Amino acid sequence: MISPLAILVIGIVTVLALIIVLRVHAFLALITAAIVVSLLAPGDAVDKIGRVAAAFGSTAGKIGVVIAMSAIIGRCLIDSGAADRIVRAFVRTLGEDLCPVALMSSGFGVEELEIDYSSRTDTCSSGRSISPQAGPPR
C-alpha cells in the first residue's frame, strides 16, 4: 500500500508534468491526475474510475448553473457597454497615470458582480478598448 503523502506527490507531479512538459490543457491534466490518484488509492479496483466520474459530476452539478449564469451576466455587461463604463470610471477616478491599477481594480469590481472568473474577459476587452486612449505603457 502506498502512503497517502506519496499519492499526493504523485498527483501533483502528474498535473505539473502534463501541463508544463507535455503542454496538455489544464482540465485534462487535472482529470488525468484524479484518475491516477484514484487508481493508487485503496479500494476496490472496479469502483476507482467511477469515483472520479461521480465526484466530477457532483461538482459540476453544484457549480454549473452559477458559472453559466455568470457567463450570461458577463456577456450582458460587455454587450451593454457596462463593463467598459466601469473600467472608464475607474480610469477617470484614478487618472491615466494609474491606468493599470484602474484596470485591475475594475476587474475585481466586475468580478464581484459576476461571482466568477469569466469577468476577466470583460475587463480585458475593456482594457483593449481604452489602451489606444491611454497611450503606450510607461
Q: Are 91 and 99 in contact (CB under 8 A)?
A: yes
Residue 136 included in any domain: no
Residue 23 within a domain? no
Distance CA(92)–CA(74), nearest Å, equals: 22
99 belongs to a structural domain: yes
At 38-61, the pLDDT tens digits run: 999 988 878 888 889 899 888 888
For the packed helices 4-16 and 26-40, what is the interaxial angle rounded to 10 degrees? 160
Give residue for cell 476587452: 125
**DSSP helix/strand/coil, 118:** coil
Domain of residue 89, residue span: 63-131
Counting the structural domains of the chain, the total is: 1
pLDDT tens column, 56-80:
888 888 888 877 787 788 778 888 8
